Amino acid sequence: MTGYRGSGHSAPFVGSDLAEEDFDRIRQLLLARRGFDLGMYKDQCIRRRIAARIRACGLARAADYIARLTAQDEEIDALLAAISIHVSQFFRNPQIFARLEADVLPQLARQALQRADRTLRLWCAGCAGGEEAYSLALLMDELAPQGLTVEVLGTDISPQVLDRARAGEYGLHRLSEVPPEVLERYFDRDGLRYRLCERIRRQVRFELHNLLDEGPYPAADLVLCRNVMIYFSRIDQQRILRRMAAALAPEGILVLGSAETIIGEPRQWFEPLFATERIYRCRLSP
């Protein structure tokens, strides 16, 4: 195992200091302990993030960090939180949200109104800073179905990004797809920052959640889980999709990222509804 920087070396540890065998050891640890596969990440990007975590731990050698990672389960989770890409935007890929607004959400609302609890449940899994969870809340606020209770849940593995999500405050670069009239109606500007109005923030609940943890997933009519599955091994993707199918209401909806698709066994549980937008309908509960 390498990574030794030499006695008296004062330069901070950087991504290029991470030897190939050390990177592979870290990758294997994450895969074995959390089913999290680094293989889909851009190599230099992920090396920089791992190096930043090593520095944050006050360490200067990859060997010392790997020893900590091997011994401490909590460091596995801390590294996962550090390397996960917590970047999103309101209405990212607007054609998908246009489809949700025009076709999917109205139909789900009609189905929910037929149930005794008259409640529509939307779950944004891997919600990052809350942009997409709030986008769903904004769409439902605009649709304003009468007599329906709407619950929006955002979950993520990082407590830090969940705190940012709850604050509901964003730079303009996160809002580039928000129509001007929506920005005007729902956001308050403070200098270079925009804060979502309290009424919408209160409609979204954020919780810490790891998709690989044991226990049932929250019941939902729609699961928005975009650009999350690519981080998991094929076996864990199937396990997650099976549990999502079990959590969804009959004919519930799953929305994946544009680079994600459903193959193999999960095809028996989901069928394409709008294939281009990666919107699937649950047709069978496992």
The pTM of this model reads 0.79
pLDDT of residue 34: 75
Give the span between the Cα atoms of 59 and 5, in whole angstroms: 11
Q: Which residue ranges in the chain fall short of pLDDT 70? A: 1-10, 39-43, 85-87
pLDDT, tens only, 258-285:
889 898 999 999 999 999 999 999 987 7
How many CB atoms are located within 10 Å of the residue 277 CB?
20
Hey, what domains does the chain have and what are their CATH numbers?
Answer: 20-84 (1.10.155), 94-282 (3.40.50.150)
- On the CB side of 104, CA atoms within 13 Å amount to 28
Rounded to 10 degrees, the C-alpha dihedral 270/262/78/202 comes to: -40
pLDDT of residue 40: 59
**Which residue from 160, 120, 164 is spatially nearest to 140, judged by alpha carbons?**
120
pLDDT of residue 81: 76
Phi, psi of 126 (to 5 degrees): 75, 55
Q: Give the Cα-Cα-Cα angle 31, 37, 39 (nearest 5 degrees).
A: 130
How many CB atoms are located within 10 Å of the residue 1 CB?
12
What token pair was written down for 23?
């990177």
pLDDT of residue 252: 97
